[in-house]
Amino acid sequence: MDNFLKQVSFPKNHAILKDIHIPINDNLYLQIDTLIITQKYIAVLEIKNIKGKVFFQRNPYQLVRELDGAITTYKCPEQQLKRHIKKLQILLKQSKVNIPVKGLIVFAYSKTHIAQPPEFAKITMGCDITDHIDEYNEMSDVITSSTFHRLLGKITSKSTEFMPKPLAQTIHLDQTHIRKGLICPNCHLKIMNKKHCPTCKISTKLMQQQAIEEWFYLFKNTITNRECIHYLELKDKFAANHILTNLNLNRLNAHKNRCYTLSQSFWLTKDSSTRL
Q: Are residues 43 and 179 in the same domain?
A: no
Structural domain contains residue 100: yes
Q: Are residues 120 and 209 in the same domain?
A: no
- The neighbour count for residue 61, using CB atoms within 10 Å, is 16
Structural domain contains residue 271: no
CA proximity to 49, closest of 25, 74, 14? 74
Q: Are residues 252 and 224 in the same domain?
A: yes
Q: Which domain holds residue 237?
A: 167-261
Q: Are residues 70 and 10 in the same domain?
A: yes
- Residue pLDDT tens, the chain, 276 long: 778 888 888 998 999 988 788 877 767 778 888 899 999 999 999 999 888 999 999 989 999 999 988 899 989 999 999 999 999 999 899 899 999 999 999 998 888 999 999 988 999 998 899 999 999 999 999 999 999 999 998 888 777 655 567 888 778 887 778 888 888 877 888 888 888 888 878 888 888 888 888 898 888 888 999 999 999 999 888 999 899 888 878 888 777 778 888 765 554 433 333 344
8 Å CB contact between 64 and 48 = no
Residues 6+ apart with CB under 8 A from 189: 183, 197, 198, 199
Which of 141, 158, 175 is the last residue before a domain boundary? 158
Structural domain contains residue 272: no
Q: Enter the pTM of the model.
A: 0.61
Give CA–CA dist 87/93, Å, rounded. Answer: 10
The CA-atom distances, in angstroms, between 3 and each of 6, 8, 122, 132 are 5, 9, 21, 15
CATH number at residue 232: 1.10.10
Which of 158, 185, 209 is the last residue before a domain boundary? 158
Structural domain contains residue 195: yes
Q: Are residues 154 and 222 in the same domain?
A: no
